[in-house]
């Protein structure tokens, strides 16, 4: 992927344009890439991959100024993150308009998360306005930011340092045309987001993928524990003894990474950790009732299952806080401060119970 924003016309042959660009526009600040508003199959496939894997961590565009259509000195300036999906969604919704796009360096993180982490913030916005010589590109002094970036930006500080007055546009990029046509006025509908089931569901593949990558290590440890005997490692015992825990481990992943996000508004309590624990507890209870299916009848192992796997589901669910509008940075820090010691406690108790089970299994007591 080509990481270019300002391209001197003499170097275009040396630096081929990315597929989402269609030439350059000359400005007093230099040549600016003109971007397409129709997404290519490569753009769409990039979105799919970024939803489902760590590919999103490198899915970026170069920070800087871009042009949509044939913008002039009076054209609006819309700000976004350099996470390419955020950039693609914005340019797609600006189809038919003549505007500028100012991309901030958010380290490949989307607007909402970057605002919470501080990379979509006052300092970066000021730096980018200055670096792109925006005051020479446009004659006005107004700039439009996405509403979800408001938590990271001080409009007063930006205006004081750059002279540009910050306005916060609608929550969703698709509402920008309506926002502009209404004279830059936001209705309640343009200011709110419902974060629907579908909105939450499309975020779950990445959460599942992250958790499932660690599952082979969990499976190896489980099989080793249940297969270990005084005479060596018995594979038959490893499989039949470890199978219930392998099933419950997978269930914890999907309870925390899929069921909890999808059912988020319907699960009691505000805490993500508690929500994930409740879903995990319900899942373990449901599966352990099928005792003939998973073969778990030992009371010590049952106790371990009810302690360990709801805690694992809770921990995985807590990772979803960075993808939602349900909580802020202070709330996440508070949850982590309380929950992490409890997770270690649950792990410690589970290990003690497993050790006691093995000692009894080997006939040492």
Query: Under a CB-based contact definition with an 8 Å cutoff, are residues 165 and 143 in contact?
Result: yes
Tell me: pLDDT of 74 over 80: yes
Per-residue CA distances from 206 to 85, 219, 238, 261 (Å): 14, 21, 31, 12
pTM over 0.85: no
Asked if residue 251 lies in contact with residue 286, where contact means CB atoms within 8 angstroms, the answer is: no
Q: What are phi and psi of 299, to 5 degrees?
A: -65, -35
Q: Which of 195, 153, 139 is nearest to 171 (CA)?
A: 195
pLDDT of residue 210 exceeding 60: yes
Average pLDDT over residues 318-346: 76
Indicate if the pLDDT at residue 123 is higher than 80: yes
Answer whether 262's CB lies under 8 Å from 201's CB: yes
What percentage of the chain carries pLDDT values higher than 90? 49
Rounded to whole angstroms, the Cα distance separating 285 from 56 reads 36
Question: Residue 332: pLDDT above 90?
Answer: no
pLDDT at 219: 93
| Confidence class for position 324, pLDDT limits 50, 70, 90 | low
Structure confidence at residue 236 as a pLDDT band (50, 70, 90): confident
As a whole number of Å, the end-to-end CA separation of the chain is 63
In total, the chain counts a number of residues equal to 365
Q: Which segment, 178-192, 220-234, 305-319, is predicted with the most confidence on average?
A: 305-319
Residues 36-54: what's their mean pLDDT?
83
Res 172: pLDDT: 86
Question: Which pLDDT score is estimated for 260?
Answer: 92
- The rounded distance, in Å, linking the Cα atoms of 58 and 54 is 8
SS3 string of the chain?
Answer: CCCCCECCHHHCCCCCCCCCEEEEEEECCEEEEEECCCCCHHHHHHHHHHHHCHHHHHCECCCEEEEECCCCCCCCEEEEECEHHHHHHHHHHCCCCCEEEEEECCCCCCHHHHHHHCCCCHHHHHHHHHHCCHHHHCCCCEEEECHHHHHHCCHHHHHHHHCCEEEECCCCHHHHHHHHHCCCCCCHHHHCCCCCHHHHHCCHHHHHHHHHCCHHHHHHHHHHHHHEECCEECHHHHHHHHHHHHHHHHHHHHHHHHHHHHCHHHCCCCCHHHHHHHHHHHHHHHHHCCHHHHCCCCHHHHHHHHHHHHHHHHHHHHHHHHHCCCCCHHHHHHHHHHHHHHHHHHHHHHHHHHHHHHHHHCCCC
14 pLDDT above the threshold of 70: no
- Statement: residue 104 has pLDDT above 90: yes
Q: Token pair of 178, please?
A: 């309506």
* pLDDT of residue 361 exceeding 80: yes
Place 57 in a pLDDT band, splitting at 50, 70 and 90.
Answer: low
**Higher pLDDT pick, 313 / 207:** 313
Q: How far is CA 320 from CA 30, 58, 269, 296, 316, in A?
A: 41, 20, 15, 31, 7
| Nearest residue to 38 (alpha-carbon basis) of 69, 5, 62 | 69
Task: Determine the pLDDT at residue 35.
Answer: 95
Find residue 65's DSSP bridge partners: 102
Residue 327 confidence (pLDDT) above 70:
no
Domains and CATH numbers, the chain: 9-193 (3.40.50.11600), 198-361 (no CATH)
Q: Give the chain's mean pLDDT.
A: 85
Model confidence at 186, pLDDT cuts 50, 70, 90, reads: confident
Query: Which residue in this structure is represented by tokens 């003939």?
Result: 292
């Amino acid at each position: 992927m080509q990481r270019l924003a300002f391209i001197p016309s003499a170097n275009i042959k040396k630096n081929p344009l990315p597929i989402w660009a269609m030439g350059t526009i000359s400005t007093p600040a230099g040549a600016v890439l003109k971007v397409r508003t129709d997404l290519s199959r490569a753009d769409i496939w990039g979105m799919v991959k970024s939803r489902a894997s760590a590919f999103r961590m490198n899915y970026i565009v170069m920070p800087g100024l871009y042009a949509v259509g044939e913008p002039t000195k009076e054209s609006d300036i819309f700000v976004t993150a350099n996470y390419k999906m955020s950039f693609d969604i914005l340019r797609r919704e600006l189809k038919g308009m003549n505007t500028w796009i100012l991309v901030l360096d958010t380290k490949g993180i989307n607007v909402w998360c970057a605002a919470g982490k501080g990379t979509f913030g006052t300092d970066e916005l000021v730096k980018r306005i200055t670096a792109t010589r925006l005051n020479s590109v446009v004659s006005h002094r107004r700039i439009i930011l996405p509403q979800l970036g408001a938590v990271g930006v001080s409009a007063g500080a930006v205006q004081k340092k750059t002279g540009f007055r910050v306005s916060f546009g609608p929550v969703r990029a698709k509402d920008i045309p309506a926002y502009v046509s209404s004279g830059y006025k936001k209705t309640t509908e343009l200011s709110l987001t419902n974060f629907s089931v579908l909105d939450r569901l499309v975020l779950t593949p990445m959460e599942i993928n992250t958790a499932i990558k660690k599952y082979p290590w969990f499976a190896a440890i489980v099989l080793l524990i249940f297969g270990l005997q005084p005479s060596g490692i018995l594979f038959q015992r490893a499989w039949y003894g470890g199978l219930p825990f392998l099933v419950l481990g997978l269930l914890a992943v999907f309870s925390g990474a899929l069921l909890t996000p999808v059912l988020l508004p319907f699960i009691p309590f505000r805490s993500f950790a508690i929500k994930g624990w409740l879903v995990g507890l319900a899942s373990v209870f449901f599966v352990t009732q099928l005792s003939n299916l998973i073969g778990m009848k030992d009371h010590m192992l049952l106790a371990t299952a009810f302690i360990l796997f709801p805690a694992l589901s809770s921990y995985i669910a807590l990772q979803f806080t960075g993808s939602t509008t349900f909580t802020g940075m202070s709330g996440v820090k508070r949850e982590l401060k309380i929950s992490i010691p409890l997770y270690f406690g649950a792990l410690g108790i589970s290990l003690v119970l497993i050790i006691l089970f093995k000692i009894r299994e080997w006939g040492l007591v």
